[in-house]
Amino acid sequence: EAQVTQNPRYLITVTGKKLTVTCSQNMNHEYMSWYRQDPGLGLRQIYYSMNVEVTDKGDVPEGYKVSRKEKRNFPLILESPSPNQTSLYFCASSFWRDRSYEQYFGPGTRLTVT
């Protein structure tokens, strides 16, 4: 079954305590992205990756880091979380095949930073 998994699904943490949200896909997709979703602001892209070791900034990259050492994994790292990073986070993977494009989202990670 095509799947994008995120862990943890829910996290409450304190300001400044480094955390990593993992994202993994089982579809061998080249492209992966991270988004955050906030009421009134909608979805915003944080980072995206075109392939292993190729990453680039989205619209709101400040305060986040990513790495893509393996094709299947694209972790999101918050080195020093702050309350304004409290949000719902989605990871997604996507691909082109035969002139057709598909994208799959993970179930989301709800992060609260106190």
Partner 1 sequence: QQPVQSPQAVILREGEDAVINCSSSKALYSVHWYRQKHGEAPVFLMILLKGGEQKGHEKISASFNEKKQQSSLYLTASQLSYSGTYFCGTASGGYQKVTFGTGTKLQVIP
Contacting positions for partner 1 (CB under 8 A): 31, 33, 40-45, 48, 50, 56, 58-59, 90, 92, 94, 101-108
Reading phi first (left if > 0) and then psi (alpha if -120 to 50, else beta), residue 66 is in: beta
When the beta carbons of 14 and 50 are compared against partner 1, the nearer one is 50
Rg (CA), the chain: 14
When the beta carbons of 46 and 78 are compared against partner 1, the nearer one is 46
Residue 76 has which token pair?
A: 């999101």
Kindly state the DSSP code that residue 84 receives in the 8-state scheme.
Answer: G
In whole angstroms, the minimum distance from the beta carbon of 18 to partner 1 comes to: 26
In whole angstroms, the minimum distance from the beta carbon of 105 to partner 1 comes to: 4
In whole angstroms, the minimum distance from the beta carbon of 91 to partner 1 comes to: 9
SS3 category, 83: helix
